[in-house]
Amino acid sequence: MDHKLSPTDGASVTKEKADKWIKKYKDKHPHKEEIIARFFGKDIVQKNLDKKDCVGIRIYSAIGDENENQQLIVGAREDGSNIWPKDAQALTAEDAIIADASKPCPPYCPS
């Protein structure tokens, strides 16, 4: 991969811009029951960031076993490769964690 990743990748956006982008998404996907966000607790995110060679996280969109939208968090190395567990059946491992079990919004949304 020619594009290196860095712990400094990413930037903040204004609340105004975030509100505009979220509204555009909601307007495009008007179904009230559709999941628009997922919450991951600090601990699972930190466990990913603490893995050897991790410079950040990659968030994958996925479809779960019940055909619901999911987001998966995986650590990423500077060379762009993902930090996958060596044991594909492991829920947690010393070498890597794939984060799921997030709380969907709705219903876990700000009012």
State the pLDDT at residue 63. Answer: 83
pLDDT at residue 18, as a whole number = 87
At residue 42, the pLDDT reads: 87
User: What pLDDT does residue 84 have?
Assistant: 84
Is the model more confident about 45 or about 32? 45
Residues in contact with 5: Cβ distance below 8 Å, sequence separation at least 6, in sequence order = 55, 56, 76, 77, 78, 79, 80
Rounded Cα gap, residues 59 and 61, in angstroms: 7
Beta bridge pairs of residue 42: none
Which pLDDT does position 79 carry in this prediction? Answer: 92
Six-digit token string for 68: 């619901």
Q: List all residues 6 or more positions away from 105 whose beta carbon is below 8 Å from its beta carbon.
A: 35, 36, 37, 38, 39
Read off φ and ψ for residue 108, nearest 5 degrees.
Answer: -85, 70
